[in-house]
Structure 1
Amino acid sequence: MAILKSYGVSLRESTLPFPRPNRPDNYKSRRNVKWRSPQAAVIPNFHLPMRSFEVKNRTSAEDIKSLRLITAIKTPYLPDGRFDLEAYDDLVNTQIENGAEGVIVGGTTGEGQLMSWDEHIMLIGHTVNCFGGSIKVIGNTGSNSTREAIHATEQGFAVGMHAALHINPYYGKTSLEGLVSHFDSVLPMGPTIIYNVPSRTGQDIPPRVINTVAQSPNLAGVKECVGNDRIEQYTGNGIVVWSGNDDQCHDARWSHGATGVISVTSNLVPGLMRELMFGGKNPSLNAKLLPLIDWLFQEPNPIGLNTALAQLGVVRPVFRLPYVPLPLAKRVEFVNLVKEIGRENFVGEKGVQVIDDDDFILVGRY
């Protein structure tokens, strides 16, 4: 008690007094004078963190526009469903070593839809802190709620992400004017990629919307999944586009003007995907990869990818529900695909294996 008492006294003694307002001599007699609160003492403190406007936009949209291979990175899990950051770091390191220029954190492939926003922002911040000097970190901070998209994007840039990925509002959807207002609400915060994938959102983002929001200097470009005709339409108007379809990305890059690809397949074969995006037209390599790409997307992404990475031994065979592994016959097919393409081209160092059904862990509460 004596220690606590003396500490309290020292606090009171060290507290700076608030400045008192100047009071006229007849103050007490002036009962109708409007009361004003005292002005708080302001003590300069030069070691405080930088304000948000000082760190925002440290990467320009032009820096993002030049990226040719961006990997939508997988999020691996521990048996209890929490993030396996050790495996995650190995995955990102492998992408860097094999020439990927950017990663999408918490996208569809990374299962951002199964994360709380706390998990989501933590993973973006972790990726920036560990790898932000070697690769561009693009955080998926999109939402079907404009309020959530604004808040998540503010947090994402506050923890240092280089750019944001924004989808159009799904499920509830909105009008075309609503789409423009939604994107206009987040574009001022920093470099932004708009993601158009009608198969998941139930609504196409038409060129009219993109051409309108392209007036913002922060629009880095569009991840387009509608097809190469749409890509060519945008690139002809000077809008940067990344193919969102791995099976079309070779032709999108070399025949339709796409800057590159935002890829799922590069989680597995980053070196080959880099060659596909950097090495010029290569129809033979493209044909070599198409069976693997077809296998990956037989079921909704990321079911195939999660199964494949577990079979390669680079992540634990843990699935957050509602995702479940591909059936046994498909797992056998993957082993054969790895042998045909060459195990040396895939991530990891362990031999590929067929995992038994009982070895997979399905987590519903995490």
Structure 2
Amino acid sequence: MQRTHTGALRAEAAFACTQSRQLRPSRAARTVTAVLAPFPGADTAASTTADLKKLSLITVFGSAPAFSSHGSGTLIDIKIAINNTDLLSPSTSVSSSIPAIKTPYLPSGKFDLDSYDRLVADQISHGVQGLIVGGTTGEGHLMSWDEHIMLIAHTVNQFGRDIKVVGNTGSNSTREAIHATEQGFAVGMHAALQINPYYGKTSMTGLKEHFKAVLEEGPAIIYNVPGRTSQDIPDDVIMGIAAHPNFLGVKECTGNDRIKAYADRGVTCWSGNDDEAHEGRHCYNSQGVISVTSNLIPGLFNSLMHTRDDKMNESLQDLMSWLFCEPNPISLNTALSMCGLIRPVFRLPYVPLSKEQRVRGAALLEGVREHLPAGVTEIRAMEDSEFELVKGY
């Protein structure tokens, strides 16, 4: 990657985005304006090359005033050349379990990158091939776009050689989805997760046009979760975009019958329902699962996607039911806190589970203790006073 610095940083400085990436197949090399700014969670602005590990790249396709909130950042120009060898394609799609990774926080509400890196590293050690950054579980909807893109950049920089990074850059605004997806590919993500427009819903024709527009930016998994968007993406919409070279498949939350119907027509699907994912994989031909539960038991859940084990799957149903006793990611945030894997910090409007549910969850977690991420020394139901709720993030 050719880098031209307008600030004091030297040309050999290490950036969060370390490799050239293709923005879309039809684009030649292009120059974008970017800012190098302190990553949320970094205590001070970096001033040396070594300190740049605490910095991340935010790309911007607008004017310099967009950086007004980053007074300590350094404006740079980056020439992004075509290099699509690392991007996902239909022939290289990851299978098995893809965790929708949790984003942990410091008491200030900023990202706790040390805890985040430990969570991701543990997933990789258990054989997962890809992860979703800033999804529902990762609370991308509670992030500014600057935070969102910086977290994608950080993940690529730290783990992009070992795992495929799928950035959740969808939006109910087509313009915003395109903008965020451009940014995500500029900092090195391998694919995007694209949801259908919610709240301001559109027609079926509008859905097709929206997805065609965002697919022009690079490889994407379409995300169908009508329980959150209040609008199903019907099969005729999916089949209308399935021939696009950047279409990877669907994260499907309506059930295994839909997954089977797609699989029979050559459309790759990942289950969006953990409790149905084992059956979906082995009986309905899904590619695997984009999972919440994998945050807690990555090796076990990954194994269930590779090897049929009805008895083990049945034994996990109570845990998975508990993880969704309140809207996701409330239970997962609580569970990871109870295991001491993250600080017990919640960005509002999320709050921890009730004490009654925490006691129930502690017993369920004890049942899978040997499969929990490394570093769990005790599992505690905790007291209400131990949790911190952050509103000014």
Q: Does 1:87 align with 2:115?
A: yes
Equivalent residue pairs, number: 316
In the alignment, which of 303, 316, 324 is matched to residue 297 of structure 1?
A: 324
Q: Does 1:77 align with 2:109?
A: no
Name the residue aligned to 1:336: 363
Q: Does 1:154 align with 2:182?
A: yes
Name the residue aligned to 1:102: 130
Larger Rg belongs to? 1
Q: Does 1:355 align with 2:382?
A: yes
8 Å CA contact 1:56, 1:190 repeated in 2 = no
Give secondary structure in 2 for the equivalent of 1:62: coil
CA distance in structure 2 between the aligned counterparts of 1:61 and 1:211, rounded to whole angstroms: 17
Q: Does 1:51 align with 2:80?
A: yes
CA distance in structure 2 between the aligned counterparts of 1:316 and 1:119, rounded to whole angstroms: 19
- Give unpaired runs (5+ residues) of structure 2: 1-76
Give secondary structure in 1 for the equivalent of 2:316: helix
Instruction: Return the letter of the residue paired with 1:235.
Output: A
8 Å CA contact 1:297, 1:304 repeated in 2 = yes
Instruction: Return the letter of the residue paired with 1:344.
Output: E
In the alignment, which of 311, 314, 321 is matched to residue 287 of structure 1?
A: 314
C-alpha distance after superposition, 1:132-178 (max 9, x if no partner) = 00010000000000010000000000000000000000011100000
TM-score normalised per structure 1: 0.85
Cα RMSD of the aligned pairs, angstroms, is 1.2
Post-superposition shift, 1:59? 1.5
Q: Structure 1 80/49 Cα, relative in aligned 2: closer, same or farther at 3 Å?
A: closer
C-alpha distance after superposition, 1:79-128 (max 9, x if no partner) = 01000000000000000001111110000000000000000000000000
Q: Does 1:239 align with 2:267?
A: yes
Aligned pairs for 1:5-16 (under 5 A) are: none
CA distance in structure 2 between the aligned counterparts of 1:64 and 1:311, rounded to whole angstroms: 37
Post-superposition shift, 1:56? 5.0
Q: Which has the higher helix share?
A: 1
Q: Which has the higher strand share?
A: 2
In the alignment, which of 323, 344, 352 is matched to residue 325 of structure 1?
A: 352
C-alpha distance after superposition, 1:20-41 (max 9, x if no partner) = xxxxxxxxxxxxxxxxxxxxxx
C-alpha distance after superposition, 1:178-201 (max 9, x if no partner) = 000100111022110000000000
CA distance in structure 2 between the aligned counterparts of 1:307 and 1:339, rounded to whole angstroms: 15
TM-score normalised per structure 2: 0.79
Runs of 4+ in structure 1 over 3 Å off:
55-58
8 Å CA contact 1:64, 1:220 repeated in 2 = no
Name the residue aligned to 2:56: none
Post-superposition shift, 1:224? 0.1
Give secondary structure in 2 for the equivalent of 1:247: helix
- Give unpaired runs (5+ residues) of structure 1: 1-47
Aligned pairs for 1:159-174 (under 5 A) are: 159-174=187-202
